Structure 1
Amino acid sequence: MSEALLTSQPPGTDTAVPGASGARQFWRRLRTQRAALVAAAVVALLVLVALAAPLLTAIEGQDPTTYHPSLVDSARGGVPIGSFGGVSAEHWLGVEPQTGRDLFARLVYGARVSLGVALAATVVQLLLGVVIGVAAGLGNRWVDLLLTRIADIFVAMPLMVVALALLAVVPTSFPRPVLVALVVGLVSGWATLAKMVRAQTLTLKELDYVAAARLSGWSTVRIARRELLPGLAAPVITFAAILVPSNITVEAALSFLGVGVKPPTPSWGQMLTSADVWYQAAPQYLLLPAGALFVTVLAFTVLGDGVRTALDPRAASRLRIGTGRGREAKPETKGETSRKARRETKGVAS
């Protein structure tokens, strides 16, 4: 309910708190989806591993950049010595071919790069998309036309070609993870979000509570912040959940092509680039980063789908199927209706 409408209500009128009830309803719907809860647990574990990478590598006693030439067989081209790629008490997942660098340390530090770049790019995309979308929806005809055309240009822009060009010309002294996050965030994603936010803003600004706020003399910025942004929260959160796995894939692709994160900084895509010639001699060097990417993207995708379903009011009836409330609301059969009618008739006659 708008603050402008609340101020016009008579004293003593009972008003609900939509934000709190909406959050409880969202959590209740999300809890009915076991796949989404499992995906959320996997995502939380991945984030925890990324944050605790220095602690985990300190417990193992290794780091991601130290070479161990004595652990690889130079006569065989640098294949790790020992079974399963050199797995031991000192190297939990084995070592990297040719260099002997610890694979566990590079994998957990690579999680920091992949997740950090993806999340930072998502924040940039959300800021640009929401601001430009709301500005286009609330602006006059010329502002709307200009911002919409700019968004159309970025929607049609080939991400990989532009990213390759930008990353190739920027000096190597610039921090590469920050650069990749900025390029991915500025080139892709936000334009589609802006078009969606603009369409939603055009719908919301015609509602009564926004008109009441306008008549109360509120500024455009205050109306956008107090009235429009709460209504845009659900679609924006849903779109953000979809953007994160997409950004993880883009970062891995750029690093795989050699224009993303540069050595010695570990990255899953960079590890895949080096592992493409070792899939027979040292298969774990390829399977570990590929499996980490697969699990991460799958977990974020399933979680995003669960968030979308929980935020969609039309999914409420579908989520109640098979639950206790669904069975209570089950319509009576013809036989049950006739028996109930006979009992009521007998009671009246007596």
Structure 2
Amino acid sequence: MSETLVAVGAAGAESSVPAASGARRFWRRLRAQRVALVAAAVVALLVLIALAAPLLTALEGQDPTTYHPSLIDSARGGVPVGSLGGISAGHWLGVEPQTGRDLFARLVYGARVSLGVALAATVVQVALGVAVGVAAALGNRWVDQLLSRATDIIVAMPLMIMSLALLSIVPSGFPRPVLVTLVIGLIAWGTIAKIVRAQTLTLKGLDHVAAARLSGWGTWRVARRELLPGLAAPVITYAALLVPTNISVEAALSFLGVGVKPPTPSWGQMLTDADVWYQAAPQYLLWPAGALFVTVLALTVLGDGVRTALDPRAASRLRVGTGREDAGAKTDREATA
């Protein structure tokens, strides 16, 4: 979080750079970070797998809901028949214990739910946070006080406890992925609202914003034309770090039994079902846990790379005295040489 806040302070300086030049500079800095590029490739592959889930399962010839009782050894308590959880040409990752549902199909369809919920919740959080933060910074003293106190209440709310309470009282007929998305998005927007408010207050004092006000522009025209471009860097940075957090929250809620419900597959719900099978069929636990770990790690590394590309000075400040030069700063120096 502290690294994210560091990135906020540089957005004002970046706002004076033309859009095209700023975009080229961003991509140049991001390409200089090989680890971030690898993480981006992993994220792109995961998104492609999630989007292509129907095609991939069709190639395998399976689906995520069909039971295969003939592939289960009832005498051993429902353990899959065969080695490595029943891996075969027809079941690429084996089958689920006790039900025989195809594990590969459930894993790729679970990626759709987990990634979709996380991305949609992030969009809700960013939209609410930006709207409240800008309104608080541009409003009068009473509006600022009211919205700031409401934001403080949201920030102080324990996300998991509030989510558990809300998800437990909603009727079961409501689409669960949509409900989880709304709950996460409506509870966890407070931090980004505080970041946006602080940055907007800083941008209000810049010369080009003052000139726009003196020219007779209205408040919301100033916000749309002068302030929102300067808010892009901190908002994109924080949003990139929110996605892996939301994936973990969705998995935790599903693991606790209040998130996505069967038969809809999600990685958290698969981990819940695998809780009693980790000794008899460990692959049933390892596949969704591994997918969750790789996704969160790749998104976190990519988010850090985006932060450094938007503000390489933050990374160079962290390396003061180490004798190492940040890759983005080195690339900029070579490009201007």
Contact 1:135–1:144 at 8 Å: present in 2 too?
A: yes
Report the TM-score when normalising by structure 1: 0.87
Aligned to 2:322: none
Answer whether contact 1:320 1:326 (CA < 8 A) is retained. Answer: no
Rg larger in structure = 1
Do structure 1's residue 30 and structure 2's residue 30 form an aligned pair? Answer: yes
Deviation beyond 3 Å, 4+ runs, structure 1:
320-329
Displacement of 1:98: 0.1
SS of structure 2 residue aligned to 1:276: helix
The answer to whether the aligner puts 1:319 opposite 2:327 as a matched pair is yes
Following TM superposition, by how much is the alpha carbon of 1:318 offset from its aligned partner in structure 2, in angstroms?
Answer: 2.4
Q: Distance in 1 between matches of 2:175 and 2:55?
A: 23
CA change 1:139–1:320 in 2 (3 A) is closer
Distance in 1, matches of 2:329 and 2:22, equals 21
Cα RMSD (Å): 1.7
Partner Cα separation in structure 1 for residue 302 and residue 332 of structure 2:
25
Counterpart amino acid of 2:64? Answer: P
Q: Give the equivalent residue in structure 1 for 2:63.
A: 63
* Structure 1 stretch displaced more, 312-321 or 247-256: 312-321
Q: Distance in 1 between matches of 2:328 and 2:308?
A: 12
Q: CA deviation at 1:280?
A: 1.4
Specify the alignment match of 1:342 in structure 2. none
Tell me what 1:348 maps to. Answer: none
Task: Give the whole-Å Cα distance in 1 for the aligned partners of 2:21 and 2:241.
Answer: 25
State the number of aligned residues. 313
Distance 1:49 1:320, change over 3 A: closer
Alignment of 1:188-199 (within 5 A): 188=188, 190-199=189-198
Matched, 1:261 2:260: yes
Cross-structure match for 2:235: 236
Superposition deviation, residue 81 in structure 1: 0.1
Write the deviation string for residues 138-184 of structure 1: whole angstroms up to 9, x where unpaired: 01000000000000001010111110111011011110000000000
Distance 1:34 1:311 in 2: 16
* 1:328 positional shift: 10
- Residue of structure 2 equivalent to 1:44: 44
- Letter in structure 2 aligned against 1:151: T
Q: Quick one: distance in 2 between partners of 1:132 and 1:327? A: 39
Aligned-pair distance for 1:307?
Answer: 0.2
TM-score by length of 2: 0.90
Show CA shifts across 1:69-94 (max 9, x none). Answer: 11000010000000110000110000
Q: Contact (CA 8 Å) 2:255, 2:272: kept in 1 or not?
A: yes
Where in structure 2 are there 5+ consecutive unaligned residues? 1-15, 317-324
User: Structure 1: which 5+ runs fail to align?
Assistant: 1-15, 330-350
CA deviation after TM superposition for structure 1 residue 313, in Å: 4.5
Distance 1:69 1:30 in 2: 50
User: Aligned partners of 1:160, 1:183: CA distance in 2, in Å?
Assistant: 10
Change in CA separation of 1:324 and 1:216 when aligned onto 2, cut-off 3 Å: closer
Q: Return 35-44 or 311-320, whichever deviates more.
A: 311-320
CA distance in 2, matches of 1:178, 1:320: 39
> 1:154, 1:17 → 2: CA distance?
34
Question: For the residues of structure 1 that align with 2:247 and 2:305, how far apart are their CA atoms?
Answer: 19
- Cα deviation, residue 17, structure 1: 6.7
Does the C-alpha gap of structure 1 residues 324 and 167 become closer, same or farther in structure 2, counting only changes over 3 Å? Answer: closer
Asked whether 1:116 is paired with 2:124, we answer no
Tell me which residue corresponds to 2:147: 147
Q: Is the 8 A contact 2:30 2:328 kept in 1?
A: no
1:219-243 Cα deviation digits (max 9, x unpaired): 1111101000000000000000000
RCO higher in structure (CA 8 A, sep ≥6): 2
Q: Give 1:276 deviation, angstroms.
A: 1.3
Offset at 1:217? 0.9
Structure-1 residue corresponding to 2:10: none
Kindly state the Cα deviation for residue 319 of structure 1 after the two structures are TM-superposed.
2.2
| Bigger mean CA offset, 304-313 vs 103-112 | 304-313
Q: What does the per-residue CA deviation read over 1:54-109, in whole Å, with 9 as the maximum and x for residues that have no partner?
A: 01001101000000011000010000000110000110000000000000000000
Structure 1 residue 290, shift from structure 2 partner: 0.1
Q: How does 1:162-201 map to 2 (within 5 A)?
A: 162-188=162-188, 190-201=189-200
1:144–1:321 Cα change, 3 Å? closer
Match of 2:134 in 1: 134
Structure 2 distance, partners of 1:323, 1:200, is: 27
Q: State the one-letter code of the partner of 1:74.
A: S
Question: Counterpart of 1:161?
Answer: 161
Displacement after TM superposition at 1:322 (Å): 6.7
Q: Structure 1 residues 321 and 185 mapped into 2: Cα distance closer, same or farther (>3 Å)?
A: closer
Cα 1:94–1:191, aligned 2, differ >3 Å: closer, same or farther? same
Q: Point out the more displaced range, 122-131 or 309-318.
A: 309-318
- CA offsets per residue over residues 281-323 of structure 1, 9 Å max, x none? 1111000000000000000000000000000052576226776
- Contact 2:28–2:331 under 8 Å retained in 1: no
